[in-house]
Amino acid sequence: MPLYCKQCEERRYPQYSSDDKGTLWLCNKCQNYTDAEDVIIREQTQEERDQIQAKAEEFERTSKFSGEKLSRRKGVN
C-alpha cells in the first residue's frame, strides 16, 4: 500500500475509479496516480481537478452543520 509518494514524500490518498476498475492512489502535490505496487499509472487531468473542486464546493454549499457544541451525556452507564 503506497501511503507516501516516492518523488516528494507527501501523503497519498486512495481514490476509487470505475473507469480504472479499482483504487488508485493520488499524490496531491505531484498530481499523479499510482497502483498498489507503487507504479505511476498516469497524471491527474485538469478536468478531474475541476470535477473534484466542483464536488467540494457543492458539498460546502449544501451541508448544514449546527453551530452548537456536541456534549457528552452524563449519568449514563
12-51 per-position pLDDT tens digit: 988 887 776 788 888 888 889 888 888 888 888 899 889 9
DSSP state of 68: S
Tell me how far CA of residue 59 lies from CA of 9, 17, 46, 50, 55, in angstroms.
29, 20, 20, 14, 6
Residue 30 forms part of a structural domain: yes
Query: Count of domains in the chain?
Result: 1
Residue 4 forms part of a structural domain: no
Residue 57's domain comprises 12-62
Report residue 5's pLDDT band, with 50, 70 and 90 as the boundaries: confident
Residue 7 forms part of a structural domain: no
CA angle 2/40/18 to nearest 5° reads: 85
Residue 2 forms part of a structural domain: no
| Alpha carbons 17 and 9: distance in angstroms, whole number | 24
Q: Report pLDDT for 1.
A: 60
Residue 67 forms part of a structural domain: no
Residue 50 forms part of a structural domain: yes
